Amino acid sequence: MTLEPSILLADDDEVGRYVVATMLRRAGFAVTEVADGLSAVSAALESPPDLAVLDVKMPGLDGFEACRRIKSHDDTRHIPVLMLSATFMETEAQVEGLETGADVYLTQPVEAPVLAATIRSLLRARSLETEVRLAAAEWRTTFDAISDAVAVLDGDGVVVRANRAFHATFGEDVVGARVPALDIARDSGELELELGDRTHSLRIDLVPDEIGAAPRMVVTLSDITAAKRSERERAAAFAREQTISRTLQQSLLPERLPSDERLALHAWHLAAEQELIVGGDWYDVIETHDGLWLVIGDVAGHGVAAAAQAGQLRHSLRVYAHEGFGLAESVTRLNELVTGTELTDMATMCILALSTDADDVRIVSAGHPPPVLLPADGPPRLAVTGHGVVLGVLGATYEELTFTFAPGDRLVLYTDGLVERPGEMIDDALQRLVDACADTAGLEPLRAHLFATLVGNEHPRDDVALLLAQRQVL
């Protein structure tokens, strides 16, 4: 049985409060009523509601101050607040309310459908925020589980984020400060660091930051003291590192691909030549109410930070898809997530929506190379032209395009590690890929042919993710 969303309603006017409470209960909400702002704060702290509706003008503690106090507590700061006013509010008053943490204003009298729809919209947004916070917490747990001391430093050498092992080495207050020992090691070019009676190897990975800004650094300290320098222990440490890398990389990929008689799928991921450095290349297949979303993505840079961001983007996109958002809106929300939070790395992504009962495919690209379409009755070609704006650009908008995916046709989605070569123009690289797609039937043979032709037998310079699809002829 689904519980009714709980609403805290605060209004000193008994008649007005009765009218609003009645509308809310008829709309399916559980309502707790209080008559003043102070009681609203107490009730919220005692039993946090799903949403608070506060009248602006109340004796003693008005709606503004009640909102401010509710938002100032950790247990209630995430509660959406809807402000009600019996009269039109001037701009200054609206600004004051928003600055105290209010999410939306409505002027009374308000129609019941408008009130209910507004509240449901706020509750959906809160649910989505909760999902994203849980995803961030899961990735923080993964970050802390790594035995090496890992930290992200900004361009000035200040620690931005650190895992549990790094805190244990340098102290709990290390975030927001510079670590002198790291400054000395970086300036001298030393790859080993003496800390007390322990010796650590030092690895620094540069991660591109905002355009024009100094790159961030992912610093990894691994304990290599004499007790661990025997050949057997070094081999064991190497094996542990491989396990961590594989675990992090595999967590970016689906455990299985959906099975559908109308669509054959095949996917592959090949790590870069530096196989201990986790990459940000990923793919996903998301089942929706009317078909499938095929997704391919690539976060700039390598290392734990890139893998963590790729994982959060993948998880967030799944939430948006299951919430019913469209392709363009989902990509826009991901861009807002990147530009509005601590996710600072640029990323590319391409999403295709395949319907179960139509040949048209909808596609939105955020700076990602276009997929290759292999028609059953014609030569291969790029499915669409253009590639949109990468994730991480403030205010970017995204356009949804369509193309036909008929029975027997195949699709190739890939990351840039498959085609990019030093000194080669991207158009020439894409043409090499299109040419390589000719004259090979099936999906697994096509995958093997593409890797043999474009990658060879060695690990590539960059990670490669590949997602192939074929519309079955029934």
CB under 8 Å to 442, separation ≥6 — which residues?
A: 470
More confident residue, 462 or 81: 81
Confidence grade of residue 189 (pLDDT, cut at 50, 70, 90):
low
Exposed/middle/buried for residue 355 (C-beta within 10 Å: 0-12, 13-18, 19+):
middle
As a whole number, the mean pLDDT across the chain is 84
pLDDT bin (cut points 50, 70, 90) of residue 352 is very high
CATH: 3.40.190.10, 3.40.309.10, 3.30.450.20, 3.20.20.70. Which one for 147-229?
Answer: 3.30.450.20
Interval 94-116: pLDDT, tens: 666 566 778 888 888 888 898 88
Residue 1, pLDDT above cutoff 50: no
Q: How many residues are there in the chain?
A: 474
Q: Is the separation of the CB atoms in 339 and 394 below 8 Å?
A: yes
Alpha helices in 264-349 (DSSP H): 304-323, 327-340
Domain residue extents for the chain: 6-141, 147-229, 248-471
Tell me the fold of 248-471. Phosphatase 2c; domain 1 (3.60.40)
Q: Has residue 283 got a pLDDT over 50? A: yes
Q: Name residues whose C-beta falls within 8 Å of residue 117's C-beta, 6 or more positions apart in sequence.
A: none
Q: What is the pLDDT of residues 389-419, one digit of tens each?
A: 999 899 899 999 999 999 999 999 999 889 8
Return the DSSP state at 367: B
- Per-residue pLDDT at 185: 72
- Mind listing the pLDDT tens digit for each residue in 40-84? 899 999 999 999 999 888 888 888 889 989 988 988 888 899 988
CB-count burial class (<10 Å; 0-12, 13-18, 19+) for 409: buried
Architecture of domain 6-141: 3-Layer(aba) Sandwich (3.40)
The reported pLDDT for the residue numbered 344 is: 60
At residue 387, the pLDDT reads: 83
CA dihedral sign of residues 422, 307, 390, 319: positive
Alpha helical stretches, state H, 47-195? 63-72, 91-100, 112-145, 164-170, 180-188
